[in-house]
Amino acid sequence: MSGHGFHVHGPHDHEVEHVAQHGGDNFTSRLAVLTAILSTVGAIFGYMGGHSQNAALLYKNEAAIQKTAASNQWNYYQAKSNKQNLAELSITLTTGEAQEKYRKEVERYKEEKKEIKAEADKLEAIAKEADKKSELEMHVHERWALATTLLQIGIALSAITLLTRKRWLLVGVYGSAALGVAAGVAGYLHL
């Protein structure tokens, strides 16, 4: 217990402190250094995983905003279509100047709808691109999360190896650490 609150040491922490205070064998020292390195790399991978997850959420949010804007444009397009339909109906129900006025309105609505459609298509394309970017970032996030988990397994196996003194467990430590680093490299390279 410390003066600032309750603090509990795990068995691995106790062993590392014991080695630091009283000296220890080469096996224990090397394993303690390996554990510290794995912890540091794991912390970096955890940070990168959080970063990629945040980026994925931002891209997904951008996609939602653009989809809403595109939907608004399509609603506007539909409103213009309705007005055009009413003008076309008015052409059949009128004659003379009134009929000519409605013909001009129909043409105006057709032109306005072209511009509205182009804008809606543009917004949909932006939304699709943002969705793709979000999916890519989530894929990368999964790589970082896997890398972090594998390094945490390596750290846990390191603690078990240190406590049990079973050197054959080092195969699991090195294997898990190697797989974790490989997953981290895959995340870094966006694979």
The whole-angstrom separation of Cα 128 and Cα 169 is 48
Confidence of residue 167 (pLDDT cuts 50, 70, 90): confident
- Whether residue 56 contacts residue 134, with contact meaning beta carbons closer than 8 Å, is answered with yes
- Mean pLDDT, rounded, for 83-99: 89
Point out which residues pair with 2 in neighbouring strands.
Answer: 5
Residue 19 has pLDDT above 80, yes or no: no
Quick one: angle between helices 96-164 and 170-188, nearest 10? 160
Task: Read off the pTM.
Answer: 0.69
More confident residue, 41 or 5: 41
At residue 15, does pLDDT exceed 70? Answer: no
pLDDT in tens, 100-110: 899 999 999 99
Q: Count CB-CB contacts under 10 A for residue 47.
A: 12
pLDDT at residue 64, rounded to an integer: 94
What pLDDT does residue 9 have? Answer: 61
Q: Which residue has the tokens 């988990």?
A: 149
What is the DSSP-derived secondary structure letter of residue 169? Answer: G
Q: Which residues of 134-157 are buried (b: 16+ CB within 10 A; e: fewer)?
A: beebbebbbbbbbbbbbbbbbbeb
What is the mean pLDDT of the segment spanning 119-131?
Answer: 94
CB 49 within 8 A of CB 146: no
Is the pLDDT at 82 greater than 70? The verdict is yes
Domain boundaries in the chain?
25-188
Query: How many angstroms separate the CA atoms of 127 and 142, rounded?
Result: 23
